[in-house]
Chains A and B, each alone.
Chain A
Amino acid sequence: MTGFWRQAMAITRKDLRTEVRSGEVLFITVPFGAAALMLIPLAVGVDAPLLQKIGPGMYWSIVLLFGVLVTVRQSATDGPSQRDLLSLLGIDPAARFAGRAMASIALLFTFEAVLAPVALALYGTDPAGWWWLLAVVPLVAIGLGLLGTLASTIASSISSATLVPLIVVPLAVPMLLAATQITEGLRIDATILGWILLLVIMDLLLAVAGVISARPLQEATR
């Protein structure tokens, strides 16, 4: 394993260990997301055919909105002193970005995986072509994790954490569109490859942008 990946994996382990200790995602954000999925039928009316139809869209909306909470949690724990310490230890900023993004991706994937059966149970949606979702769920987690980490890095010199959701949510709209169109395409047996390609391209572009911008953004913080 090269130095870059060893550093990135160390950062990932650190972030995941913090999560294991605090349980913020599993014991707070996941139940919060499940509660939100439950509130929607109460607001729109308990109409089974309607809920079956809107179920996938609601699931992806909750993943996007609550997924932002998962990605911003690292900006709350990673203060200036932690950032300075990592710089003094000689951690490559790009490896730091990769490590933080990988931790976010793992947590987002867990969040999506736990919430999916809840959505299926509450909305009674037919899980048509679920094997395709095995590809879509990680692609959305990767995209959202990268975008959230990049936005957190850009906004890291601002004390308020409320700016990150305003940056992430509008930029994540293509991901939401792709995810919902894929689920709908599987239901009506339409072609979905174009949407999967969009997710792959977005993930690649965000990964490149994150790695390229890591060093100049860290220098800006000093």
Chain B
Amino acid sequence: MKRPHWLTIAAAGTLLTAMVTALMVPPERVQGDLARVLFVHVPSAWLAYLSFGVTLLGSAMYLIKQDLKWDRLAGASAEVGVFFTGLTLALGMIWGKPTWGVWWTWDARLVLTAVMFFVYLGYLALRRGIDDPVDRAKRSAWLGILGVVQIPLVHFSVLWWRTLHQPPTLLRPDGMQMDAPFRGALFMALFAFTMVYAALVRAHIANAKDEVRLAELIASEEVEVAGAAITAPTLGEVD
């Protein structure tokens, strides 16, 4: 069996530590234990931004350098980003039901996050639909660049529109409005989730490389195909 990569072990360790820290923080004064959802919701939202930002970087670098490693980075990051955007939406709904009384509300932040989710689902569908790696890289790079307009829209939606969703808690001009233990646990969770992101992207890139290697092997006919040992009888042998 293949040994796990050091990044995977480090990510698992920091995630475990972050979750234990999140459980040890005293309950929030108003929301009680429900506020602990934020230790997963906020890092997931951060990873959605980070992932799609890295997809933008990978896409732009591919167009400049024409090196497929940048395309693999963009694709892997988008896949992880779509997962964490979905997780952000799901956890937001779980938090919203007891807090706002509804699973879903037509709030600018929520709607635009869902829109961002669909933009990158389209990006992944495009990648899945093209077999040729160079063609796929070129086309998805342009979509990866176009799609990034959603990130500022989502982040600043709470400032541009009157929304039910709270304004930014960490990235605000007048400083963070959060007690020290809560802030510490949140930063720990942010670090742990970033490690998980790095481990997942690394694993996705390794898978993509393996797929390319397998395709090359099959193309060069160096691998034995199932049933290759059986040959059709010739007329001479039958006689």
User: What residues of chain A have their CB less than 8 Å away from a CB belonging to chain B?
Assistant: 150, 154-155, 157-158, 160, 163, 166-167, 169-171, 173-174, 205, 209, 213, 216-217, 219-221
Contacts and interface: CB of A to CB of B under 8 A. Distances in A.
Taking residues whose C-beta sits less than 8 angstroms from the other chain, chain B's interface range is: 20 to 34
A167 B143 contact: yes
A81 B55 CA distance: 33
B130 A166 contact: no
B115 interface: yes
Contacts of A173: 112, 115
Contacts of A170: 115-116, 118-119, 122, 150
Nearest to A212: B142
A165 to B, nearest CB: 9
B138 to A, nearest CB: 4
A217 B139 contact: yes
B184 interface: no
Which 10 pairs, one residue from A and one from B, show the smallest C-beta to C-beta distance? A220-B138, A158-B129, A170-B118, A166-B122, A170-B119, A167-B122, A213-B142, A220-B135, A170-B115, A173-B115
26 contacts: A154-B126, A154-B143, A155-B139, A157-B130, A157-B135, A157-B139, A163-B125, A163-B129, A166-B122, A167-B119, A167-B143, A169-B118, A170-B118, A170-B122, A171-B119, A171-B149, A173-B112, A174-B153, A205-B149, A209-B142, A216-B63, A216-B138, A216-B142, A220-B134, A220-B139, A221-B135
Given A170-B122, A171-B119, A216-B63, 11 more contacts: A150-B146, A154-B142, A155-B139, A158-B130, A163-B122, A167-B143, A169-B118, A217-B142, A219-B138, A220-B135, A221-B135
